[in-house]
Amino acid sequence: MSDTFYTLRFADETLSLIDQRVLPTTVEYFTCTNSSDVEFAIRDMVVRGAPAIGATAAYGVYFSAKESSSLYESSSPEEFEKAFYATNRFLFDARPTAVNLGWAIERMEKAYITLKGKQIEEILSELLSLADFITEEDVAINKAMGSFGSELIPEGATILTHCNTGALATAGWGTALGVIKTAHRADQSIFVYADETRPRLQGARLTAWELKMAGINSALISDSVAATLIRDGKIDLVILGADRVAANGDVCNKIGTFMLSALCKMYHVPFYSAFPVSTIDFSLATGEQIPIEERDAEEVTHIQGVRVAPTGMNVYNPAFDVTPHEHVTALITEKGVLYPPFDTAIAALKP
């Protein structure tokens, strides 16, 4: 990887995480040497972004097994399992709404079941290998996505992106921002506008920082500036991520995504969403069925702890919106680029 930082790294029985609470003003690594450290890191958002949380949790489950390992031989596998599952549950509860957290813990527990009865040293070694694999697999998926997606980016393109979909949101490299970074390797003349992405400012705090670290020419804008750039022909394409994709290609993503898609539709600008196939919810016919999480009013009334709105003001703060597939030019996955009709293209990916 050409990243000059890493989101997470495991070495010498220590998991190091870049501390996303203090970026971009401070670059600091938070170290975890046990499951409690991992639980804290996930709960307190030292680490964020679904794939990054998943990989972090996998190492948490490794720590969990290691911490109970003396029980496995001194008392019994049953005693071990009681402690092991209890600690995993504790990890799971750190952020119950993060899909990848449960997914990674379950994957580690399933591996344990196939190893049951073996020497504890072998079990620990296999669990650590799986945590490493989950991490590397995510990076590999992102690199494949980058390779397919970068083919869509014309030479010297000016690209608009939204929220953070980079190395920080994943185990490394990134989804939509990974595509941009891959394109930049071949063509240093691309230019990126990054939406600041209110209310949580992931664009200002994280994407701007990643763009600078990658040496990509770029500018930060308030979210409502994008509309005039799109109208005035200053944007060649929009590329962003996805939190959940329906079987018909409707894309649920960070609030503000729909606005960009509508402007792109109106002014004939290509609009792409990049995500791993695991983001597709094959059971959902359309995006209309996706419940939109409403988050705390303080995300809007306070910025970095400073109050910016009057006490008691009502707030409507949806975290996501749904972009209809009619506004999407193509979907970028690690299996290739999907074009309309999306329902057929997506059905072909069904496991």
Active site residues: 243
For the window 82-111, what string marks contact with a copy of itself as x by the rule CB under 8 A? ------------------------------
Does position 218 interact with a copy of itself (CB under 8 A)? The reply is yes
Q: What is the dihedral of CA 44, 65, 134, 180, to 10 degrees?
A: 20
- Could you give the C-alpha distances from 275 to 143, 156, 192, 244, 338, in angstroms and in order? 11, 24, 19, 9, 11
Helix H or strand E segment including 110: helix 99-115
233 in contact with a copy of itself (CB under 8 A)? no
Contact 277, 218 (CB under 8 A): no
Contact call for residue 308 and a copy of itself (CB under 8 A) = yes
Tell me which residue of 193, 198, 159 sits closest to 179, measured CA to CA.
159
Q: What tokens were used for 81?
A: 């399992």
Q: Which two tokens stand for residue 152?
A: 């869509």
Minimum distance, C-beta of residue 316 to a copy of itself, in the bound complex (Å): 5
Determine which residue in the list 236, 317, 335, 340 makes contact with a copy of itself, applying CB under 8 A.
317
Edge to edge, what strands does the sheet with 251-254 contain? 280-281, 244-246, 251-254, 320-323
Judged by CB under 8 A, does residue 160 bind a copy of itself? Answer: no
Is the CB of 140 or the CB of 220 nearer to a copy of itself?
Answer: 220
**Of residues 254-273, which lie at the interface with a copy of itself (CB under 8 A)?**
255-256, 258-259, 262-263, 266
Q: Is 52 helix (H, G, I), strand (E, B) or coil?
A: helix
Closer residue to a copy of itself, CB minimum distance, 67 or 223? 223
Q: Does 291 bind a copy of itself (CB under 8 A)?
A: no
In the complex, the residues that contact a copy of itself under the rule CB under 8 A are 24-25, 193, 196, 198-199, 201, 204-205, 208-209, 211-212, 218-228, 231, 255-256, 258-259, 262-263, 266, 300-301, 303-318, 321
